Chain A
Amino acid sequence: MSEVILEVKDLATEFDTEQGVARALDDISFEVKAGETLGIVGESGCGKSVTALSILRLLPKPAGNIVSGEVIFKGQDLIRLPADDMHNIRGNRIAMIFQEPMTALNPVYRISRQLNETLALHNPEMNKAEINEASINMLKRVGIPAPERRMKEYPHQLSGGMRQRVMIAIALLCKPEILIADEPTTALDVTIQAQILQLLKDLQKETGMAIIFITHDLGVIAELCDRVVVMYGGRIIEQADILTLFDKPRHPYTRGLLNAIPRLDKSSKEVLSTIPGMVPSLFDFLPGCRFQNRCDYVQEQCTQDIPVLESDSDGHQVRCFRFRELLS
């Protein structure tokens, strides 16, 4: 097994809002090994993006605060790292790409500047010509045709897919050890999605970086990831390697999600199964299990105690009181 390069331990994040304090993340723990792809999946508002932002300490200030926990990156706790050291890690050793390529680039600067800037920040010894050269090469690697010409263009002159490629190029310029991809394909149409996913796979093979891939799309997870973390209501409810999760899902929520995927091999007359109800808002979580109000197997205990994340011998973790009986 390759070494663990990022370890998130008991992470909890809160948001101060006008309606009070919302606990967006609670008791989040997972590991990322060098070179692997970890998927984080869940519905909107389950805390996937907040997890990503918390790792890089990019939470919107002053509302978002990490209240406890550690994020250990190669022996350093990122949560307690001085701001200056954090600047050296962001974009250099851990990079991030975002959901909306349309707005993630600065509209008033040329592509060249937005690429070169990243290299200049982390490689003060490089001169302008070298930086420019490296940026052009990176654009080439992410599959942008005529990169020299694109360098001189502005973001609005590129298509969504091209912009996401530029974002990926920016993220990969400094050869990061971890790339956090926060729904990078959600805003793109399906063919472009497939291209971007393939690109990420290829680049990962070349560079050996680890990827934390955040999405709500289980199809994308199946295609790309080695291991999966399933989140619900700010907690991890199941974690397993990809085959185990799709073959033997344990948590009722994960099962529901997998059942809700439309399949070509089923009759079109069949009603698509859904999970009834909605994700509870961050302000009215019930005590106990957060999935209780939508769960078919809810019992007395679920409404009182918080289930712990139980792990079996091959690392399949699940947070449910009844998963053993449900298995049989």
Chain B
Amino acid sequence: MTQYFIRRLLLIVPTFIGITILVFVITRFVPGGPIERMIAEAQQASMQTGGMSQSVGSSIGAATLDEDQIRQLEEYYGFDKPVLVSYWDWLVKVVHLDLGESTRYSDPVWDTIKDRLPVSAFYGIMTMFITYFISIPLGYMKAVRHNSHFDHASSIVVFVGYAIPSYVVGIILLVVFASNLEWFPMGGFYGDEFEDMDSKLEQVADIFYHAALPLLAYVAGSFAVMTFMMKNSLMDNLAADYVRTAIAKGMPFKQAITRHAMRNSLIPIATHFGNNISVIIGGSFLIEKIFNINGLGLLGYESIVERDYPIVLGVLVISAILQLFGNILSDICVAAVDPRVQFR
């Protein structure tokens, strides 16, 4: 078992290189890189200052940034070298825990990510807790009372939540509860007075006050799958022979469910768990955008739009590592709940 996990850990290295090299190469070939942006900005600047008087049709691009400047910029961003060479340079820096500097803010990438990560992680972990907290008991009740009114009514709610994309749920919540009813704030991670609050308790309350709607949007999207997974797997297990054995032993039905069927039903849930990690911590950029939350998802999205490649790659590094470790964590969880699973 230990050997297996050591092997899995070692496999992270080539997988990680594969993922990053792919994205790195793509950044090279997608139009609109940082240099082109600068050229465009310089153009706009020159248009605004001297554009009026200048004659139309002159070669504008060349006039704003000359060859030398462009070469300097290329050298600065590492575009002067072949792709693989600059990828290697980047990788060496990453190994030394240096993700480079943002081309937009000139801040170190790691600092930018470090600021955003806790925000997304807070939402992710809260979502996970709430999802499991709702899904497992709800799935349990639906399985035990299969085909009852309760089962049908809750199915409607679950399917509606599943059918509407989470960003639409987010927008509806925002319009109804923040804009019309004004029960909740319009967005942000915390309010303007956050720094001035006296007690930690007040600050925590403020965070949750701001988090209520986004969390609902997050949860609405994710609990349907989990609930049905729980229900179906529990129903399968309720019909299993070993549950009948347990009852034949003299165990009351309820106890047979909680002691025997439940444990087996959690196996597929455990398989799911690790895969969720990266999504959870990475956050959803759509929900973060709607609720104006400065999380990792939004950061990744903005940096792609702005062609801020060091940040794009930085976010990728973090989420790739989370995903890869998440997969291994999944395996560990499965091995923990199912003794039949043996890794070699």
Contact = CB atoms under 8 A, between A and B. Distances in A.
Interface of A: 56, 58, 60, 83-84, 87-92, 95-96, 98, 100, 103-110, 117-118, 121-122, 154, 156, 167, 170
Contacts of B339: 107-108, 110, 154, 156
Contacts of B81: none
A100 B337 CA distance: 23
Given A103-B240, A108-B264, A56 B248 contact: yes
Given A107-B340, A108-B263, 20 more contacts: A83-B252, A90-B248, A90-B249, A92-B250, A96-B248, A98-B241, A98-B244, A98-B248, A100-B241, A104-B244, A107-B242, A108-B338, A117-B259, A121-B249, A121-B251, A154-B339, A156-B339, A167-B245, A170-B245, A170-B249
A117 B248 contact: no
B245 A122 contact: no
Interface string B225-265: 00000000000000111101111111110000001100110
Nearest to B338: A108
Nearest to B266: A108
6 contacts: A90-B250, A103-B242, A107-B338, A108-B338, A108-B339, A110-B339
Nearest to A93: B250
A123 to B, nearest CB: 11
B337 to A, nearest CB: 7
A106 B251 contact: no
Contact of A106 (B246, B248, B250, B252): B246
A106 B242 CA distance: 5
Interface in B312-342: 337-340
The listed residue with most A CB atoms (<10 A of its CB), out of B248, B263, B264, is B248
B337 A91 contact: no
A90 B248 CA distance: 5
B264 A106 contact: yes
Given A107-B340, A108-B263, A98 B250 contact: no
Contacts of B241: 98, 100, 103-104
Contacts of B250: 87-92, 118, 121-122
Nearest to B263: A108
A122 B249 CA distance: 9
A109 B244 CA distance: 15
Nearest to B261: A106
Nearest to A107: B340
Nearest to B259: A117
A177 to B, nearest CB: 14
A158 to B, nearest CB: 12
> 5 nearest interchain CB pairs?
A91-B250, A91-B249, A103-B241, A106-B242, A90-B250
Given A104-B242, A154-B339, A117 B247 contact: no
A88 B247 CA distance: 11
Interface residues of B, number: 22
Contacts of A56: 248
Contacts of B242: 103-107
B260 A106 contact: yes
B121 to A, nearest CB: 32
B245 A87 contact: no
A280 B14 CA distance: 63
Contact of B245 (A92, A104, A108, A154): A104
A58 B244 contact: yes
Contacts of B252: 83-84, 87
Contact of B249 (A83, A109, A117): A117
Nearest to A99: B241
A108 B337 contact: yes
A117 B339 CA distance: 19
Nearest to B246: A106
A100 B245 CA distance: 11
Contacts of B249: 90-91, 95, 117-118, 121, 170
Contacts of B247: 58, 90
Interface in B20-47: none
Contacts of A110: 339
Contacts of B248: 56, 58, 90-91, 95-96, 98
Contacts of A92: 250
Nearest to A117: B249
A15 to B, nearest CB: 14
Contacts of B240: 103
B251 A87 contact: yes
A58 B248 CA distance: 7
Nearest to A110: B339
Contacts of A167: 245
Interface in B165-192: none
A122 B241 CA distance: 21
A145 to B, nearest CB: 21
Nearest to A53: B244
B77 to A, nearest CB: 55
Nearest to A102: B241
B264 to A, nearest CB: 6
A90 B251 CA distance: 8
Nearest to B147: A62
